[in-house]
């Protein structure tokens, strides 16, 4: 009964938020501090205090440290955090909505859509007039939207009640189709191959503050929409009919949640490429420790998801420094075994339940 114990001990929401917040802050400080040039934690606090909050910290700081923190590491950490948070909360929402702990943003094809948008941009090497270097993220988000619209349109054509099974199936069909398109473009591409592969594996390096500005509005809109639907997600994880009986406007809420999830996933994929397993593993672990109540699961997933991706990025750039490993590789190496363990545990539980 180890689990019951941990749940009662940690179940107090205040405790949960404090632990998650401490984890996030610790991850951020660690990631800003560690690197080829090591910056002491006290200096980091002083730099951020001075530069961001304009507090009068009377402390001698090397200008190089300020430069490293403000222009390289802090934006990188914030971007990693935002991407992790977006993927985690979107994953939590999709899992609740689809009543499938194995579902993730990718199941709906949103992420494949975003990838296609990005790969098309890289393949043709074109620029939207006026958008400049932001052509790639804009295209990703647009394609994510197009994909989810197409998926939902097809689902509604196939099954007017929009059963979750139909949505997943349609999502998988779209994913396969779009994945084939990406493979086709990679096969046809010449010199751009490395760039596309690198982008596909995912990275948050050298993106800078501009990418944060691109992602932030999408992150805020998507997260707020989901946070206001925590109760509805709770109801819908008991099945759509049940939710309807309780009084949830399932059709409307489902659309809002799917849209919010696509905004978050689309935005994240646009700035960092395909980073797997964050949207799967983080909600799952969070749920395991603090329970499945979405009113807490969603905000906690934001905190733990961002902390997780910041740490993953730290590992990615330090393990075989100076060479960087794509962050998607790290999340997959860390995430896949955890995911397999969860799956096995679930199977054992299910068998134990039928025996009982």
Partner 1 sequence: MLNVQQLTGGYSGEKVVNDISFSVNKGELFGILGPNGSGKTTLLKMLTGILPFAGGKAYIKGKPIEEYKLKELAKVAAILPQHSSQTFSFTVKETVSLGRYAHQKGLFQTWTEEDESVVMEVMKQTEVDPFAHHDLNELSGGERQRVYLAQALAQKPEILFLDEPTNHLDLSFQKSLLDTLKRWTKEQGLTVVSIFHDLNLAGLYCDRLLLLENGKIQKEGLPDEVLEEDRIRSVYRTKIMKQPHPSVPAPQLVLLPEGETEGDLSINESMLSFSLEHIVLKAPFPLKTMSSGVVGSGTGWHKNFVNRHVDRRYDCSDHRNEMREYLRSYNFEPVETVGMMTAVILEDVCHHFYEGSNFSVLVVVTAGVGNSVDASKSDAHSSGMKPGTINTWVFVNGVLTEEAYIQAIVTASEAKAKAMSDMEVKDLITGTIATGTSTDSILIAATQRGSGLDYAGTITSLGKIIGKGVHECTCRAIQKSRERAGS
Q: Which of residues 212-231 bind partner 1 (CB under 8 A)?
A: 228, 231
Question: Which CB atom, from 164 or from 169, has the smaller least distance to partner 1?
Answer: 164
Interface with partner 1 includes 247 (CB under 8 A)?
A: yes
Binding mask 16-55 for partner 1 (x = CB under 8 A): ----------------------------------------
Interface with partner 1 includes 302 (CB under 8 A)?
A: no
- My answer on whether omega of the bond before 10 falls inside 30° of 0, hence cis, is no
Interface with partner 1 includes 9 (CB under 8 A)?
A: no
Tell me which of 287, 308, 328, 335 binds partner 1, using CB under 8 A: 287
Tell me which of 15, 71, 249, 347 binds partner 1, using CB under 8 A: 249
Question: Which CB atom, from 164 or from 172, has the smaller least distance to partner 1?
Answer: 164
Interface with partner 1 includes 285 (CB under 8 A)?
A: no
Question: What's the closest the beta carbon of residue 161 comes to partner 1, in angstroms?
Answer: 9
Pair of tokens at residue 231:
């109760």
- My answer on whether omega of the bond before 322 falls inside 30° of 0, hence cis, is yes
Question: What's the closest the beta carbon of residue 9 comes to partner 1, in angstroms?
Answer: 13
Pair of tokens at residue 301:
């997933």
305: closest CA among 34, 70, 41, 93? Answer: 93
Interface with partner 1 includes 244 (CB under 8 A)?
A: yes
Measure the CA–CA gap between 202 and 277, rounded to whole angstroms: 12
Interface with partner 1 includes 242 (CB under 8 A)?
A: yes
Measure the CA–CA gap between 144 and 165, rounded to whole angstroms: 21
Pair of tokens at residue 98:
């689809």
Interface with partner 1 includes 241 (CB under 8 A)?
A: yes
- Is residue 224 within 8 A of residue 263, CB to CB? The reply is no
For residue 142, give the DSSP letter.
H
- 200 φ/ψ angles, rounded to the nearest 5 degrees: -60, -35
Q: Is 199 helix (H, G, I), strand (E, B) or coil?
A: helix
Measure the CA–CA gap between 223 and 299, rounded to whole angstroms: 9
Q: Which of residues 69-128 bind partner 1 (CB under 8 A)?
A: 96, 99-101
Contact residues for partner 1, defined by CB under 8 A: 4, 8, 96, 99-101, 160, 228, 231, 234-235, 237-239, 241-242, 244-249, 287, 291-293, 349, 353, 356
């Amino acid at each position: 009964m180890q689990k019951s114990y941990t749940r009662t001990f940690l179940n107090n929401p205040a405790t949960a938020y404090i632990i998650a917040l401490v984890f996030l802050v610790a991850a951020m400080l660690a990631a800003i501090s560690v690197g080829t040039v090591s910056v002491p934690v006290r200096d980091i606090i002083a730099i951020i205090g001075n530069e961001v909050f304009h507090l009068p910290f009377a402390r001698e700081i090397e200008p190089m440290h300020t430069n490293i923190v403000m222009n390289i590491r802090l934006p990188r950490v914030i971007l990693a955090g935002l991407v992790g948070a977006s993927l985690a909360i979107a994953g939590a929402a999709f899992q609740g909505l689809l009543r499938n702990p194995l579902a993730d943003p990718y199941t709906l094809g949103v992420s494949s859509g975003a990838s296609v948008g990005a790969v098309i941009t890289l393949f043709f090497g074109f620029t939207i007039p006026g958008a400049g270097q932001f052509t790639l993220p804009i295209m990703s988000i647009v394609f994510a939207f197009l994909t989810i619209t197409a998926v939902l349109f097809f689902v509604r054509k196939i099954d007017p009640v929009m059963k979750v099974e139909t949505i997943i199936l349609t999502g998988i069909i779209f994913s396969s189709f779009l994945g084939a398109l990406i493979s086709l473009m990679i096969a046809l591409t010449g010199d751009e191959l490395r760039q596309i592969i690198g982008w596909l594996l995912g990275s948050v390096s050298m993106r800078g503050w501009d990418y944060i500005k691109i992602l932030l509005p999408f992150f805020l809109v998507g997260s707020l929409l989901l946070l206001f639907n925590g109760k509805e997600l709770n109801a819908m994880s008991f099945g759509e009919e049940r939710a309807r009986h309780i009084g949830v406007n399932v059709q409307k809420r489902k659309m809002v949640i799917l849209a919010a999830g696509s905004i978050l996933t689309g935005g994240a994929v646009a700035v960092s490429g395909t980073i797997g397993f964050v949207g799967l593993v983080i909600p799952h672990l969070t749920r395991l420790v603090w329970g499945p109540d979405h009113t807490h699961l969603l905000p906690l997933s934001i905190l733990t998801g961002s902390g997780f991706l910041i740490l993953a990025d730290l590992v990615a750039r330090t393990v075989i420094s100076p060479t960087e490993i794509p962050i998607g590789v790290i999340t997959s190496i860390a995430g896949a075994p955890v995911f397999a363990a969860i799956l096995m545990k679930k199977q054992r539980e299910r068998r134990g339940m039928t025996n009982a």
